[in-house]
Chain A
């Protein structure tokens, strides 16, 4: 049982971090970023290139992943989403744009980094074995801790920095924020960049454990969507809760339903649908969106 909880926590930490970026973008601009998973993959490949090809330390790769994706996010917001949002009659139209960007990133990743699964050497060797009750490799623990640390830094940033406060105001009420003198355009861009940066950092973190390949993007986006639905779209705490809940569900479900393997995910999906039918705005969502 301890093992199941530990697995769930580790999974939850990485999921929550993926969902955070997505929910941030959604809360600020009401854009469901279909390309989030591709951004995560891109981040992974940046770290891979820096660490495995150039031989630089892992932390350099991680930082570079964040920076590259942050810049990419800012550019995408400024030159693609902003003009489209300004001119489209139904805001859902951004979904096509987001999907186009997802395809585009898929193509770029294939051309730049190839079709193969990539990975970097283990950061630390060794496995924690607590009396066979919890078996957890040290690198997994490290990544889990780093992920949780990143989540904490992000929350602090949103809570206490000027930028964070401005973005929260923006997320709550765009019009009111504008009236209060918040530079909506600037903070939308920063928010998108920050969301993309988070995706890049997760990619960089996970490349050391699970590796990366160009196929992981789409499914990662869908999983992240599920998490933010569980917690409530556009709610930071909701995304974190959603991530940990999904992590636990997988960890527990895979053990409980092991004998009926094929239906574990079916169960998770069906219960998600039932849950949302009962709580149409997720755990802590607002009735919007």
Chain B
């Protein structure tokens, strides 16, 4: 009896200590930036490249003496939460960020998660930078989400126009996984292609993300004889397989996507068949990368063993947060100040050669400035590396 009582008390004690003492003691001059995204399970690749970009940059800043905002210098700490691609967990992650007193969060990676965390973010004054495209996240009355990359309905038209003008593309086909994000992107892509006067020859074929053989999926698409095959919202895991199957079925036209890809994955999965594949990237191609970008890639590779080209597009969100805070230090504790300065904020882009600047855009897509202006870099894959096809800007 006594033993039981003791055990029960002990367990209760351990539990309550575990539950209620998790508040980390905030050391002076540490600036916490959150990350809520998927870093385990099937979609782990999306979140991991994201989280590692942030951690690389943070370690770099801390190693070189910290980041100066206003008259204080901060160490940057990345607080990461794995939402397992579950919108319910994503909410818990955002709550955790609020608990840690964090006001700036990168993520979530998918549409449903980004929509689900909105109430929590707005109630707790958190600005978050999702990698999800639905316009409802960024249009008023929503106010706390900032699109962290170029949306497909922005990059799509640019790519298709280039293809139409430069490569004589007339007929386009779309394939997408039957999940929310890719399907939404396909709808956007089809609309953009039609607006340009292109003929859409196939836009209804979908596949399960767990498909192990894409030949049956692509058979009807290839038979519709498009000049350009668009892989809407394709994940880096599926891209090489789709390319390979299409080519093996005798498809000779162009293939493109509006998501970021990894060169090594393409090389391993499709080999030479991937040559000519067009995708969207950041700024790490040799033509436009600055020394800082090169150093970033170097540090990332050193820290994690292997670089992931998807990170090119994901290096920006943290940079934007820090630069904007620098512009108005009040933002550190107050998202309202951050929002205010967003309209006028401007800083040089350290990662890309030329006179590109960091600023917030999105007036034409969302009616308010709720998107980071990252260069729209369109790459083409060639023998294990990307080459820049053209660079465009989004307003």
Instruction: Name A residues whose Cβ lies closer than 8 Å to a Cβ of B.
Output: 3-4, 7-8, 10-11, 14, 52, 106-107, 110, 114-122, 127, 129, 132, 135, 137, 140, 206, 209-211, 213-216, 218-220, 222-223, 250-251, 254-255, 258-262, 264-265
Contact A261 B44 (CB under 8 A): no
Q: Mark B272-298, 1 if CB is under 8 A from A, else 0.
A: 000000000000000000000000000
Contact A117 B237 (CB under 8 A): yes
**Residue of B48, B219, B268 touching A211 (CB-CB under 8 A):** B268
Given contacts A116-B45, A213-B237, A222-B210, list 16 more A-B pairs with CB under 8 A.
Answer: A8-B216, A106-B40, A107-B40, A117-B240, A121-B268, A121-B271, A127-B250, A215-B43, A215-B209, A218-B41, A218-B42, A219-B208, A251-B216, A254-B219, A261-B178, A262-B204
Q: Given A127-B248, A206-B212, A215-B42, do A258 and B268 touch, yes or no (CB 8 Å)?
A: no
Contact A14 B206 (CB under 8 A): no
Report the separation of the CA atoms of residues A54 and B216 in the bound assembly, to the nearest whole angstrom: 33
Q: Choose among A10, A137, A218, A222 the residue with the greatest number of B CB atoms under 10 Å from its CB.
A: A137
Closest 9 CB pairs of A and B: A215-B42, A219-B210, A258-B220, A117-B237, A119-B268, A261-B206, A119-B269, A261-B204, A115-B44
Q: What distance in Å separates the Cβ of A267 from its nearest Cβ neighbour in chain B?
A: 12
Q: Mark B228-263, 1 if CB is under 8 A from A, else 0.
A: 000000001100110000001110000000000010
Interface status of B313 (Cβ within 8 A of chain A): no
Report the separation of the CA atoms of residues A127 and B245 in the bound assembly, to the nearest whole angstrom: 11
Give A14's nearest chain B residue, CB to CB: B212
Report the separation of the CA atoms of residues A34 and B270 in the bound assembly, to the nearest whole angstrom: 30
Interface status of B264 (Cβ within 8 A of chain A): yes
Contact B216 A106 (CB under 8 A): no
Q: How many residues of B contact A (CB 8 A)?
A: 42
Give A132's nearest chain B residue, CB to CB: B250
Contact B213 A11 (CB under 8 A): yes
**24 A-B contacts (beta carbon < 8 Å):** A7-B215, A14-B212, A14-B213, A107-B40, A115-B44, A117-B240, A118-B265, A119-B269, A119-B270, A135-B248, A135-B249, A135-B250, A211-B241, A213-B42, A213-B237, A215-B41, A215-B209, A216-B212, A218-B42, A250-B216, A260-B204, A261-B205, A261-B206, A264-B206
Q: What distance in Å separates the Cβ of A194 from its nearest Cβ neighbour in chain B?
A: 22
Give A248's nearest chain B residue, CB to CB: B216
Q: What distance in Å separates the Cβ of B52 from its nearest Cβ neighbour in chain A?
A: 10
Interface status of B217 (Cβ within 8 A of chain A): yes
Q: What distance in Å separates the Cβ of B83 from its nearest Cβ neighbour in chain A?
A: 15
Q: What distance in Å separates the Cβ of A9 from its nearest Cβ neighbour in chain B?
A: 11
Report the separation of the CA atoms of residues A282 and B85 in the bound assembly, to the nearest whole angstrom: 34
Contact B210 A216 (CB under 8 A): yes
Chain B residue contacts of A206, Cβ below 8 A: 212
Chain B residue contacts of A140, Cβ below 8 A: 215, 248
Contact B241 A265 (CB under 8 A): no
Chain B residue contacts of A258, Cβ below 8 A: 202, 204-205, 220-221
Report the separation of the CA atoms of residues A135 and B43 in the bound assembly, to the nearest whole angstrom: 32
Chain A residue contacts of B216, Cβ below 8 A: 4, 7-8, 11, 250-251, 254-255
Q: What distance in Å separates the Cβ of A97 from its nearest Cβ neighbour in chain B?
A: 19
Give B215's nearest chain A residue, CB to CB: A7
**Residue of B205, B221, B248, B264 touching A137 (CB-CB under 8 A):** B248
Q: What distance in Å separates the Cβ of B267 from its nearest Cβ neighbour in chain A?
A: 9
Interface status of B393 (Cβ within 8 A of chain A): no
Chain A residue contacts of B240, Cβ below 8 A: 117, 119, 211
Contact A259 B215 (CB under 8 A): no
Contact B269 A214 (CB under 8 A): no
Q: Given A7-B213, A132-B250, A251-B216, do A215 and B237 touch, yes or no (CB 8 Å)?
A: yes
Contact A220 B205 (CB under 8 A): no
Contact A255 B219 (CB under 8 A): yes
Contact B44 A265 (CB under 8 A): no
Q: What distance in Å separates the Cβ of B341 from its nearest Cβ neighbour in chain A?
A: 35
Q: Given A116-B262, A129-B250, A132-B250, do A213 and B212 touch, yes or no (CB 8 Å)?
A: no
Q: Choose among A210, A222, A260, A262 the residue with the greatest number of B CB atoms under 10 Å from its CB.
A: A210
Contact B48 A115 (CB under 8 A): yes
> Which residues of B, 41-58, contact A by the 8 Å Cβ criterion?
41-45, 48-49
Chain B residue contacts of A4, Cβ below 8 A: 216, 219
Chain A residue contacts of B41, Cβ below 8 A: 106, 214-215, 218
Q: What distance in Å separates the Cβ of B307 from its nearest Cβ neighbour in chain A?
A: 11
Interface status of B308 (Cβ within 8 A of chain A): yes
Interface status of B29 (Cβ within 8 A of chain A): no
Give B203's nearest chain A residue, CB to CB: A261
Interface status of B395 (Cβ within 8 A of chain A): no
Q: Choose among A52, A119, A219, A220 the residue with the greatest number of B CB atoms under 10 Å from its CB.
A: A119
Report the separation of the CA atoms of residues A73 and B216 in the bound assembly, to the nearest whole angstrom: 33
Chain A residue contacts of B343, Cβ below 8 A: none
Give A218's nearest chain B residue, CB to CB: B42
Chain B residue contacts of A121, Cβ below 8 A: 268, 271
**Residue of B49, B213, B265 touching A10 (CB-CB under 8 A):** B213
Interface status of B306 (Cβ within 8 A of chain A): yes
Q: Mark B189-215, 1 if CB is under 8 A from A, else 0.
A: 000000000000010111011101101
Give B308's nearest chain A residue, CB to CB: A116
**Residue of A8, A10, A262 touching B178 (CB-CB under 8 A):** A262
